[in-house]
Each structure stands twice: as C-alpha cells, then as structure tokens.
Amino acid sequence: MRALRTAASGMAAQQLNVEVISNNIANMNTVGFKRQRAEFQDLLYQNVERMGAQSSSQGTVVPTGIQIGAGVKAGSVYRITEQGTPTQTGNRLDLAVDGKGYFQITLPSGELGYTRAGNFSVNGEGTLVTEDGYAIEPAITIPQDAVDVSISKSGQVQVITDGATEPAVVGQLEIATFFNEAGLEAIGDNLLLETAASGPASVAAPGEPGFGQLLQGYTEASNVDAVAEISALIIAQRAYEMNSKVISTADEMLSVSAQVKG
C-alpha cells in the first residue's frame, strides 16, 4: 500500500512547515528578523506504464502512461529578505538600514557576522557594540565626554563633546551587500554568516549606488506578517490532518484485504 508511505511523507513535510511558521511567529518582535518559507518537491515516480511506449505493431504510442508518485520532501527553507518597517526608538545609537545592506559585526572568533538588527549600545570603553557586546566593523568609539551623537544617512559619526561648539567626526560606518542574501547562514543572535551561496560581501558607505541609507534613532522591525502566518498555519494543519486521514483509510483498506485473505 504505497499510500501509507506517501501520506507519511506528507505529514513529515507539513510538520516541517509548521516548525518554520512557528519560528516566524515566535520572532514577530525580533529586531531585523526575516521570515522564512518552507518549499517542497515531489519525490520519485514509479512508471507502471511509460508514456510514449509503443502500444501496438502499428506504431501507436501510449499518450499519458501511468506514474505513481512516492510523496513529498523538503526542498529548501527560503529566507524572505524584504525590508521590515522602521520603528522609532528614541535611542540615538539605534540604526536602521533603509534599503539594501547589513551591518558588519566582529565576532569573538575574529570572523565577520552580518545583521540587520541595529539596536546598538556602547561598552565601558565607548565602543559601539551589539546587545552581546560584539563590536561593529569598522570600529566606532564614542568619547567619554560626548554629550550628543549624530549619525548621518551616509554613516558618518559625529559627536559634540562637553565644552565644544563644533561636532567632531569620530568614524565612518560601512554596510555590506550580497548578490544572494537568502544564501546567508543564520547562526542565531540576529547574526548571519557569508557562505558560498551568498557570494562575497560588497562593502561601501551607506548611500552609495546599490546600498541603503541609515536612519538614526530607528530599528527595523521583523517582516513577519501575523495574518499571513496564521493563515499559513491553518493550511498546514489541514494538510497534516488530510494526510493523517489517508493513512487511516489505507489502514482500513489493508484490514479489509486481510479479512478477504482469511
């Protein structure tokens, strides 16, 4: 009874689908989060009667044939990188990228991570860091006597120190873009890593052609659409139930067959 294995593959696929949806819903309020979508592929087919096979000595051929599918498998879990809504926070160190681009973060291992989450702070040395204390790249240090910080759309960081009348430039922020953003590897903590699928990072100042601009005092909200995710969850649940019903029906058919043999 092929239907048992086919329906079981459908249940496993919908379980994965629900897991992806649940992760999206769980991160509805995660700064800079990008929702994901599970995509599926059909499995191999068994050719009971191959289409195009000769069906008579006169040269007639089978027009459609008989193919029995073996079910479904997960093809990929695709990250949708559309921009979330900028949310005003009132924190002068919070930043959002309006357009394409990722902030570069120096990880403890020394390699670079990338993020859209711009909820930054300063550590005890005045260095601009993430919530986990990882420094932004290139490093920006705010003087201890700074009374105001201004970050332009092009990423230039200026401060006004106590007693000064003119702002002083203390650094220039840069952002990175990738040819295939969906190919970045998520490692948690709002961080992504470059992979062979994403391609190498292209780095430039914000506002350069092909790069977004910075918004000071804003963070980018998650791009999860609650209504769409709940609708997708209901569809996945119904699909799971239908596959479960197929297994029950196939089991009943096998029981009938067993009784006939008896």
pLDDT, tens digit, for every residue of 29-57? Answer: 999 999 999 999 998 888 877 777 777 77
Least confident interval from 4-8, 164-168, 229-233: 164-168
Q: Do 191 and 216 belong to one domain?
A: yes
Asked if residue 65 has pLDDT above 80, the reply is no
From CA 262, how far away is CA 259, in angstroms rounded? 5
Position with higher pLDDT, 48 vs 236: 236
Render pLDDT for 138-191 as a digit per residue (tens, 0 to 9).
Answer: 999 999 888 899 999 999 999 998 887 788 999 999 999 999 999 999 999 999
- The number of domains in the chain is 2
pLDDT at 91: 92
Q: Do 104 and 197 belong to one domain?
A: yes
> Which structural domain, as residue segments, surrounds residue 149?
86-220
Q: Do 182 and 100 belong to one domain?
A: yes
Residues 6 or more apart whose Cβ sits within 8 Å of residue 95? 103, 118, 120, 151, 173, 214, 215, 216, 218, 219
Strand partners, 191: 188
Asked if residue 236 has pLDDT above 60, the reply is yes
Phi, psi of 11 (to 5 degrees): -65, -40
* Mean pLDDT value of segment 117-126: 93
Q: Do 211 and 98 belong to one domain?
A: yes
First to last CA, the chain: 18
Q: Do 40 and 93 belong to one domain?
A: no
Q: Do 55 and 169 belong to one domain?
A: no
Q: Do 250 and 170 belong to one domain?
A: no
Q: Could you tell me the pLDDT band of residue 248, with boundaries at 50, 70 and 90?
A: very high
Q: Do 203 and 92 belong to one domain?
A: yes
Q: Do 94 and 205 belong to one domain?
A: yes
pLDDT at 48: 78
> Hey, CA dihedral for 174, 221, 34, 80, is it positive or negative?
negative
Q: Do 187 and 96 belong to one domain?
A: yes
Closest CA to 106 of 84, 132, 145, 72: 132
3-state secondary structure at position 173: coil
Q: Could you tell me the pLDDT band of residue 240, with boundaries at 50, 70 and 90?
A: very high
Asked if residue 11 has pLDDT above 60, the reply is yes
Q: Do 104 and 213 belong to one domain?
A: yes
Phi, psi of 131 (to 5 degrees): -60, -25
Render pLDDT for 89-116 as a digit per residue (tens, 0 to 9).
Answer: 989 999 999 999 999 999 999 999 999 9
Q: Do 45 and 100 belong to one domain?
A: no
C-alpha angle 75/226/215, rounded to 5°?
A: 95
Which of 220, 235, 253 is the C-terminal boundary of a domain? 220
